[in-house]
Structure 1
Amino acid sequence: MGEYRDFREIEKTNVSKNDKNIPIRLGSIAQIHEGYKERKGLARYNGEECVTVSIYKESGKNTVTVSESVRSELERLKEQYKNVIKADIVYEESRFVKQSIDNITGELISGGLLAFLSLIFILRNMESPLILLTVLPISVITTFLLMYLKDLTLNVMTLGGLSLGIGMLFDSGNVVLAAIERHVRNGLSVKEASLTGANEVAGSITSAVLTTVIIFLPIVFLKGIIGVVFGEMALTITFSLLVSLAVSLTLIPMLSALRGNKVWSRKFDQWSFFKKVATWENEIDVRFVKGLTNWLGKPKRFFTGIAICFVVVLILISYVDKEFIPKVDTGEFKIEILNVKGSSLSSTSELVEELETKLLKEKEVKHVISNIGYDEEQILSRSGGEVGTHQAQIRVVLSTERSEKTKDFIHRFREKIQHARTIGIHFYPEEDMLSKILSPDSKAVTLEIEGNDLATLAFIGENVRNEISKIQGITDSKSSLESENREFQVRFDEDKMSVYGLSHQYLAGILKTALKGTVATRLRINDEEFDVRLRYRQSDRKYKEDISRIIIRTPSGDAVFLDQAAEIREGKGYASILRIGQSRVNRITANVENVKQSAVISEVEEYIERLKLPVGYKIHFGGEKENIDSSMRELLFAFVLAVVLIYMLLAGQFESLLIPLIMLCTIPLILIGIIPALLITGNSFNISSFTGIILLVGIVVDNAALFYEYVEILEHDQVSLKEAIIGSGQIVLRPIIMNNGTTLLGLLPVALELGEGTEFQSPMAVTVISGLAASVVLSLFLIPIAFYYILKWQRTRRKTI
């Protein structure tokens, strides 16, 4: 009832009446016909046409949980319609998240196991490492509890923080256990040794843990995305270290006291391998004492050697690549294809099909998903904001068993298709979620030209793009104003509009209906619904004159032509116009391939310095370089604040202003180990490696504080200064090697990048491992020699006074 049985019945619909009060039917003033919507886009999956469905999660929802729910529902639908549809998940953001978490979890476990084995190797018994091993699960479980109370989730950053702390979890326990064993060997009972040893080092290890906590504390309070993301990692490390401190001062002394004297006999010493280890340990101890004694007598040579190494490293810094965040290989990338403007959908589809065929022949390729043209009802944002049937995008998913990295595959495939029949092909590696959050505009090079005149901006931008494209390594350069569209421009006349009582919104609505059409309603026929689109005939909207004669009904009921209220002219326009503040911007972007990004940035900077722009126009970096500068300023502020807080802590602990200053002055020297390691491994200097440096500050200061505390203890026993220095070195030799060794081995699996998703943590791990190697020399030689001459000078000065 009340439904049309056929679309032709619409013709009989009365829409108005004429002067003689006779009804005017729709069919008498309009052509009504049935047809198909003009096709503007299509999609293909591995060469076969398909329908793609994109599913987005709500803000705040967990990606992995939502993905698992969608996958479960899809399996149900596939079973229900197994003879009707074939459905595959071709892109799943949570896949890489889960894989990254699994890999980091595996490396965390393997790192803990390596740290445990290193303790057996050094201590040469099973009981002591087992006591230390109790620190690990208790600390981890309690850390998880604190994370839960703080609403922290298990993600790449929190697990990365835990993997950083996994080696450090043993440090406090190592120091306590070494002190207890030393007192047992000196004749105290196990219970007395446990109490005396724990009390002896309680102050130093508490100070050491607080030092590391203070290092990360400012990061928690950083504003912006850096604070949010790295704050979670900082909190995780802080939680794990505070818990391990509590366990080391309570559980380890208790378990040591329960062992009994008979357990302290080192059964492993009877094995030939461990006999050799004991011999090596004694040899190291003898050589260390001999070396330290020798350098104490030749301080100028030692400090000159350190200074030369430091100067060489400062020179090498310029050769280390610099970037905002390390590039993570997700195994996916996108290809954007531009055909000649005005090309039909079928023409662009043919070009894409050629690329699809070549891609599917590659054994490393798993999925190829192509989107050609666009969907009128759901236009998705594209680069530059432009859409059309001359555009297409291909998403390529590589096999997890591929033999080459994504960037290498892109480089090889780019060479293969360099003669493709298109006017533009751009490759964009797919980024992981963390990179998207930290650096939404992740192009290696982003230049922003500001000015007012679009034509001038476009001209300058084209020249800049052409020039930087000549720099080795620059690829996929684009300008946001490089693509102009022919268009009819309608400029409303405010005075005439006010005379007729017309508004911008009203006129824009009429233009949209006349030219593009408006879905006025939906027609229901036999339980099917059809759009009823209202618009001018093709012949009435083809030329400028046709647009000029569009009829406008004024509020008073009069009819006027569009050109009576506006100026219509033919011209060229841009798909999108970017602005910064009140200035128009032409954004030039480019990727960097197979060349150090920092080297390319330097060349671009040199070009910008030489570039002369018209008055009123300026050019500056944006995107990646802007992110680097901003984030490094934030992290540098956190670093300086942490150093100040550490100095205040140490000054209060040792009641001296000079001693903490000496400890802190050795911090820059860890670069002696870090810079060569970054160069050898091919890692860049980024926020990940900088975080590793922040962590190292705490470790270096901890070792120095532990050494100085033993110097004070030995001096209190009426030992000469030189003997106290050498004796303290012998005492801290094993704890420092044990602490650095467990931390180093705990991070080794992360540094080796044994799985997908570990690339973000790898620079941090490489930095810490190489910095630890340098800190051993600093802690066992530089610090003792510096303390010897400073303390000797202080005592001489006191005697003189």
Structure 2
Amino acid sequence: MKVTTYAVRRRIAAAVITIAAVVLGIYSFILLPVNFLPDVTYPLIRIHIYWRGATPEEISTNIADPVERQMAQVDNLDYLESSSIEGMYTLLVNCKYGVNVDVAYQDALAAMARVARQLPKDIDPPVVFKADPSQLPVVQLTISSDRWDLTKLRTWTENWLQYQLQAVPGVAGTDIVGGLKREIRVHLDPNAMEKYGLTLPGVIKRLSEENIEQFGGRVTVGRREVIARTMGEYRTLDDIRNVVLANGGPGKIYLKDVARVEDAHEEVRVITRLGGQPTVKLSVLKQADANTVEVARAVNKRIEQLTPSLPAGVKLGLVENQADYVSAALNGVRNAAIEAAILVIAIVYLFLGSWRHVLVMLLALPITLILNFALMQLGGFSLNIFSLGGLVVAIGVVLDNSIVVLENITRLRHLHPGQTPEEVAETGTAEVGSAILAATLSFLALFLPFLLVPGLTSLLFKELILVIAGIVCVSLLLAITLTPLLTSLLTGKHAESPKDGRFARFFAWVTDGYGRLLSSALKHRLAVIGVFVLLLIGAVILFPWLGSEFLPRMDDGRVMVKVKLPTGAALTETGNLLGRVEEKLQGDPLVESYVTMAGGKVWGLTTYEIANEGQIDIQLAPRHARKTGTKAYIAQLKKTLAPISIPGARPMVMQPPVKGIRKVGEADIEVKIKGQEIDQLFDLARKTSESMNKLAHFTNVYVSMDMTKPEYQVEVDRVRAAELGISVVDVASSVRSLISGQVATRYREGDYFYNIRLMIPEQHFTSRQEVENLVLNCAQGGYLRLRDVARVIPAVGPVEIAREDQVKEVIVRGDAAGVSVGRALGELKEAVSKMNLPVGYEISYGGQAQMMAEMQRSVLLILAFALFFSFVVLAVQFNSLKLPALILGSVPFCLAGMVYTLFLTGLPVGATVIIGVLIVVAATVNEGVLLLTFAEELRQHDNLPPLQAVISAAKIRLRPRLMIALAIIFGFIPLALNLEEGGEMLQPMAAGAIGGLALGLFVALFLMPCLYVFFTGRRDGQFHSSTPPEANHRSSVQ
């Protein structure tokens, strides 16, 4: 091969080029960003619309209907999901994978522009943004003070602290929860208003008119231009109190005559606590393409700089720092890579028996990995758990080509001792060049289909796959250039022989024994094939018993306790129940910190205000500092919290999903019941919930919709209202303004603005009669009570209305307990199948179950493409259909080893396992290519019958086969043992791959030769008691 000749003959040039490439690789490594997961762009658009005080039914009718009709026309739409809760509408526009998310975003903006005029006038401006799960908090801190109240603390955080942190490079923004948001409240006295003949719209109008600062124009004074400005903004609260509302009659009527003005705060809807004490929580969000570790460290450094200048009594507490966990997880994968490399080199030394040969591998391995960093930087990749996992996976594979070349050069040196080291290196590399090229192409044919199949699985593992593919390509280049160069330099003409020494003699004895064993197996090849078929049948039987989940749970120490009280429970009741949980957590040595949020739930970057719900986010001590795993702690905490309950509510303990990966749903399994009538949907959901609670493997079961939220429904008498000169719209707006309050204008203090809200004092409304006595004003003048034109009826309504593709749905959520998600889902489907659904209603499954269904479809397509492309490559190489079919026919027997290993270890089948499947398939195909290529050459050049040809080929292939298989297996052992933080993600893949490769070794040693003889026949019927000697000729072997 010309490139080999160039490398061997022009050593200095080849060395300089290699050194330059290594320098480039090291520089690229320094530039690579560091994240926990790959940067994945999801085709997802999120829309939020706030409509203060509106009920879920109002939002569903007035916002969801028109918006979703327009969004349904967006190109490449997959499906729509929406949620309508009190005061807030959320819509997820899920587009098909592969769609340009920027184009989808523009389409969504255009759809919102078309529907804008159909929406209620008093909503907040709709917020449309591209949902990016990677844009999550990298640092979360709490702000507390023993001198300031929560209003002042929240105001200081909003007006000063958040801007200090937003200035840090890489920070996208901040999110503040808790504390009390400042606003100026004007508490109107209804009796005084009625006495002076004042109306709410009139008061709002006067307050707004008196609060203005406006440009008046320019005046030329001599040679100077002077700007005229009207300065009418409120400067103090007394300015607001002294606004004249009316002039005449009894005299001037000031606002202070009919209202009490106070510097207060907005209605308390969410309570946050740190360790049981009130606090404000601030989350720092990173930019999507920023380096997680660098941003987190920069934020921490900025916090350290700000600490000396904090106001007296103010304390900042760090409750989450992504840099710590990301660094620990990546260090764990790095350590696994180092351990894998050491084990691989040890295996190579064991089989080659020469430190010079090992030195060749020691140089080839790091150079290959370093050069790949340049490819990663060129591809825009980051250092994350998957890309580094690809490096670990490839460590065992990367030496495959170099071992093939080195072993063949070593073998030829003893067959042709008269040749120079350079000649032997060139000849040995040329002999195996076509074989390793075909094996590499077959390997790539198995992995590259990942890039052709759209879906979440492909997006997540894109970097891992391309890293492996890049390393294999680099290893091929180095195998035909650097390896022969180093071999000729380091081993020399009088190199030590691998056959010298005890191990060489021992292995010669093993080779002879293997030859006799294989000869016997070939005589009884039908029995051997039968044994492997039985193993395959056993694996097929066991496969349904394997657990399944999308991604493994991480032992990251994050635990969540959620509570959901009966609908209508006050915020204080939610806070009290969470307080009882906090008492159990106090003093727990395993708990590092815990943050409580009462009155809401977090979904992505959004906090939903729901008074009867709450959660506690618990962070355990780092993994190395505790002996109890996250899963075990959750089981322990469930027992601890079991006595805590109130009628209709109990704490639910769970592990949050992996951050940075798109979350589909809120639980492991979600049963989506779709139809039109809410009452019927709720009844079906109740029955489904009862079925789930009866199953032993479900926990944290609850229904998304609750039809028992108490409400007062105001039914307007249209005829009576028309007679009195008031419309239904007037009634509705007056009721909302009087009860919820209405922002009239804003109060400026320095550079910051605060709402001025007019409202009836909250304590004024304690019964239905007080609602009925609300004072309304007529168009013709005068006043009337709400009871004069409407009835106030006690009723119940839904807490939330969920829809999918414009169809109402109720979701029953639950987590798997004690078994995998796949097994729990199977049990649930069997139970649900017994339900009788009315016509027009249907059931589907979401949550992690939906992600698993998408994964299964993607995996089937990936495997189909991989096997097809591999068959094409093999058919082209062999110019035969029989031999490719023989090689690929051996694959299922190897995969049976993965099933047995996963079953014995109790590890589930997930998205990462597919990588192990492809590694096993690639190893099987590579071995088949090399074994059958050599056997075919023996038949063609030496006229050996198939039986003798395959025995000779198998004997020569024994040492490299064992060396490569054991190198890959030992390379996976550190990941399979899961000794480092973050190893849970890749453990099932590694364990499954070890089982598949182990059984694949026996498939290569015995089953494949039997199949070869079975399919190709034999030219002589003579079986020899001893196997034929090795052929001394050119070969394409490892």
TM exceeds 0.5?
yes
Q: Return closer, same or farther for 1:259/1:427 CA change in 2, 3 Å cut-off.
A: same
Shift of 1:404: 1.8
Output the CA distance in 2 between the equivalents of 1:397 and 1:187: 66
Deviates more, 1:261-270 or 1:308-317: 261-270
Which has the larger share of strand? 2
- Equivalent in 869, 876, 883 of residue 645 of structure 1: 869
SS at match of 2:283: coil
Shift of 1:787: 1.2
SS at match of 1:403: coil
Q: What's the CA shift string for 1:38-78, capped at 9, x where partnerless? A: 54443332233332222222344333332222111111112
Shift of 1:229: 1.4
1:300 aligned partner, one-letter code: L
Shift of 1:354: 2.9
- Equivalent in 366, 391, 400 of residue 162 of structure 1: 391
Output the CA distance in 1 between the equivalents of 2:635 and 2:1001: 42
1:761 maps onto 2:990 in alignment: no
1:461 maps onto 2:685 in alignment: yes
- Equivalent in 327, 330, 334 of residue 556 of structure 2: 330
2:963 aligned partner, one-letter code: M
Q: What's the CA shift string for 1:76-116, capped at 9, x where partnerless? A: 11233396433221123343222211111111121111101
Q: Return closer, same or farther for 1:553/1:743 CA change in 2, 3 Å cut-off.
A: farther
- Equivalent in 953, 957, 970 of residue 732 of structure 1: 957
- Equivalent in 580, 584, 608 of residue 354 of structure 1: 580
1:312 aligned partner, one-letter code: G
Q: What's the CA shift string for 1:681-712, capped at 9, x where partnerless? A: 11111111122112221110110000011112
Q: Return closer, same or farther for 1:617/1:560 CA change in 2, 3 Å cut-off.
A: farther
1:217 maps onto 2:217 in alignment: no
Residues 100, 758 of structure 1: 8 Å contact kept:
yes
Q: Return closer, same or farther for 1:192/1:558 CA change in 2, 3 Å cut-off.
A: farther
Output the CA distance in 1 between the equivalents of 2:462 and 2:719: 57
**What does residue 751 of structure 1 align with?**
976
- Equivalent in 28, 48, 52 of residue 281 of structure 2: 52
1:233 maps onto 2:457 in alignment: no
Output the CA distance in 1 between the equivalents of 2:254 and 2:511: 107
**TM-score normalised per structure 1:** 0.90
Residues 396, 971 of structure 2: 8 Å contact kept:
yes
**TM-score normalised per structure 2:** 0.70
SS at match of 1:133: helix
Unaligned regions of 5+ residues in structure 2, if any? 1-230, 1022-1038
Q: What's the CA shift string for 1:15-37, capped at 9, x where partnerless? A: 3456x797543244444456665
2:889 aligned partner, one-letter code: C
Output the CA distance in 2 between the equivalents of 1:206 and 1:184: 23
1:146 maps onto 2:375 in alignment: yes
Shift of 1:259: 3.2
Output the CA distance in 1 between the equivalents of 2:770 and 2:599: 28
Shift of 1:677: 0.5
Shift of 1:496: 11
Residues 334, 395 of structure 1: 8 Å contact kept:
yes
SS at match of 1:362: coil
Output the CA distance in 2 between the equivalents of 1:74 and 1:472: 48
Residues 502, 555 of structure 1: 8 Å contact kept:
no
**What does residue 541 of structure 2 align with?**
315
1:700 maps onto 2:929 in alignment: no
Q: Return closer, same or farther for 1:268/1:694 CA change in 2, 3 Å cut-off.
A: closer
1:301 maps onto 2:527 in alignment: yes
Alignment identity in percent? Answer: 25
Q: What's the CA shift string for 1:358-380, capped at 9, x where partnerless? A: 22333222212222336xxxx85
1:205 maps onto 2:436 in alignment: yes
Q: What's the CA shift string for 1:582-609, capped at 9, x where partnerless? A: 3211101111122343332222111111
Q: Return closer, same or farther for 1:324/1:347 CA change in 2, 3 Å cut-off.
A: closer
Q: Return closer, same or farther for 1:566/1:91 CA change in 2, 3 Å cut-off.
A: farther
Q: Return closer, same or farther for 1:649/1:531 CA change in 2, 3 Å cut-off.
A: closer
Q: Return closer, same or farther for 1:713/1:522 CA change in 2, 3 Å cut-off.
A: same
- Equivalent in 478, 483, 487 of residue 252 of structure 1: 483
Deviates more, 1:549-558 or 1:719-728: 549-558
SS at match of 2:652: strand
Output the CA distance in 2 between the equivalents of 1:260 and 1:525: 81
1:419 maps onto 2:643 in alignment: yes
Q: What's the CA shift string for 1:495-536, capped at 9, x where partnerless? A: 9999989796x8765544321113434446899987532012
1:93 aligned partner, one-letter code: Q
1:294 aligned partner, one-letter code: S
Output the CA distance in 2 between the equivalents of 1:497 and 1:97: 64
Q: Return closer, same or farther for 1:459/1:263 CA change in 2, 3 Å cut-off.
A: farther
2:1016 aligned partner, one-letter code: L
**What does residue 182 of structure 1 align with?**
411
For 1:583-598, what aligned pairs fall within 5 Å after superposition?
Answer: 583-598=807-822
Shift of 1:316: 1.2
1:623 maps onto 2:847 in alignment: yes
Output the CA distance in 1 between the equivalents of 2:717 and 2:382: 58
2:615 aligned partner, one-letter code: Q
**What does residue 74 of structure 1 align with?**
303
Output the CA distance in 1 between the equivalents of 2:593 and 2:751: 38
Q: What's the CA shift string for 1:413-466, capped at 9, x where partnerless? A: 2112211133221122123225x33x4336222111112222222222122112
Residues 602, 608 of structure 2: 8 Å contact kept:
no
**What does residue 669 of structure 1 align with?**
893
Q: Return closer, same or farther for 1:34/1:144 CA change in 2, 3 Å cut-off.
A: closer
Output the CA distance in 2 between the equivalents of 1:304 and 1:382: 53
Q: Return closer, same or farther for 1:127/1:491 CA change in 2, 3 Å cut-off.
A: farther
2:297 aligned partner, one-letter code: E
Residues 890, 1003 of structure 2: 8 Å contact kept:
yes
1:719 aligned partner, one-letter code: L
Which has the larger share of helix? 1
SS at match of 2:286: coil
Residues 691, 832 of structure 2: 8 Å contact kept:
no
Aligned length, in residue pairs: 783
Shift of 1:490: 4.9
Q: Return closer, same or farther for 1:791/1:347 CA change in 2, 3 Å cut-off.
A: closer
SS at match of 1:52: strand
- Equivalent in 801, 826, 836 of residue 602 of structure 1: 826
CA root-mean-square deviation? 3.3
1:792 maps onto 2:1017 in alignment: yes
Residues 360, 368 of structure 1: 8 Å contact kept:
no
SS at match of 2:386: helix
Q: Return closer, same or farther for 1:720/1:373 CA change in 2, 3 Å cut-off.
A: closer
**What does residue 14 of structure 1 align with?**
244
Deviates more, 1:164-173 or 1:663-672: 663-672
**What does residue 423 of structure 2 align with?**
192
Q: What's the CA shift string for 1:303-352, capped at 9, x where partnerless? A: 11111111111111122111222222211111012345555555544433
Unaligned regions of 5+ residues in structure 1, if any? 797-801
1:197 aligned partner, one-letter code: G
Shift of 1:121: 1.1
**What does residue 119 of structure 1 align with?**
348
Q: Return closer, same or farther for 1:554/1:383 CA change in 2, 3 Å cut-off.
A: farther
Relative contact order, CA 8 A, sep 6+: which one is greater?
1
Residues 946, 1019 of structure 2: 8 Å contact kept:
no
2:976 aligned partner, one-letter code: A
Residues 742, 758 of structure 2: 8 Å contact kept:
yes
SS at match of 2:317: coil
SS at match of 2:627: coil
Shift of 1:794: 9.4
Residues 552, 561 of structure 1: 8 Å contact kept:
yes
**What does residue 799 of structure 1 align with?**
none
1:478 maps onto 2:702 in alignment: yes
Output the CA distance in 2 between the equivalents of 1:5 and 1:154: 54
**What does residue 395 of structure 1 align with?**
617
Residues 536, 893 of structure 2: 8 Å contact kept:
yes
**What does residue 440 of structure 1 align with?**
664
SS at match of 1:433: coil
2:442 aligned partner, one-letter code: T
